[in-house]
Amino acid sequence: MLGVIGGSGFYTFFGPEARTVTMDTPYGVPSAPITVGPVGEHEVAFLPRHGVNHEYSPHTVPYRANMWALRALGVRRIFAPCAVGSLIAELGPGSTVVPDQLVDRTRGRADTYFDSGGIHVGFADPYCPALRAAATGLPGVVDGGTMVVIQGPRFSTRAESRWFADQGFTLVNMTGHPEAVLARELEMCYAAIALVTDLDAGIEAGAGVTTADVFVEFQRNLVPFKQLVLETLEAVDIERTCTHCLAHDGVTLPFELP
């Protein structure tokens, strides 16, 4: 089973023909019930990251429950559509980017399942190369970029945006961590698909980021963005062959993965 975690503005994926699954986990309930339906030859599970009515801010999303529930349901490969700000003028609103690197600037979020047992996971390349290839093979998709994940829920100051840009980061987001590392701990393939909704505060003098503008831009691009996600799902191989995301080979875990 493939998974899709919808970001801000991306709250539904299937019509009424989909079945709804209510899950519980050792980490609480997920953001919303999971809907499951067919996409091409795949069965796909969809979960809105922020809840059906956007009731979870980035720092309150139950990330561990979400990822655990998807794994328990049978998901092993996940695409994570998300809204992002751009840190470079070349990537304007409406651009679609598949990042290849991540920088964590969050704090205080529960970001591991391994609070005991001395378990470490490799995370040098945080995204699944096989899933990235499926997405970047589509027309108009930008291949690569570094996404810095900030704590939120506030947007960056101009100084922070300029600092991030000076470091060579290209995208800024509030939800990409700990989602990506939790997927790796659960040995699930994971790739983000980022829709640029704005130029971040320090990029353009006189402009600043507002929630209203972000949602307007996302809604303007939602139909083609969903179509791109559908086409990406259809491009994924039926069989999972990736070994990059199998983080625990040769390691004895303190508990069984779901």
Instruction: Please tell me whether 241 is known to bind a ligand.
Output: no
- DSSP assignments along 83-122, one per residue: EEEESSTTS-TT-EEE-SEEEEE--S----S-SSS-----
How far apart are alpha carbons 65 and 212 in whole angstroms? 29
Q: Which of 24, 111, 143, 200 is catalytic?
A: 200
Phi and psi torsions of 175, nearest 5°: -125, -5
Q: Which of 70, 66, 78 is nearest to 134 (CA)?
A: 78
Question: Is 175 marked within a binding site?
Answer: yes
How far apart (Å, rounded) are the C-alpha atoms in residues 21 and 34? 5
Q: Is 199 annotated as a binding residue?
A: yes
Residue 104 a catalytic site member = no
Copy the structure tokens of residue 252.
């004895």
Residue 124 DSSP label: S
Q: Is 64 annotated as a binding residue?
A: no
**Catalytic site includes residue 115:** no
- Please pick, among 100, 125, 143, 198, the residue that the annotation labels catalytic: 198
Extract the tokens encoding 219.
């809604």
Residue 111 is assigned to a ligand binding site? no
**Does residue 57 have a known ligand-binding role?**
no
Q: 8 a known binding residue? A: yes
Q: CA-CA distance, 172 to 58, in Å (whole number)?
A: 13
Measure the CA–CA gap between 111 and 27, rounded to whole angstroms.
12
Binding site membership for substrate: which residues?
174, 198-200
Binding site membership for phosphate: which residues?
8, 49-50, 175
Catalytic residue list: 198, 200
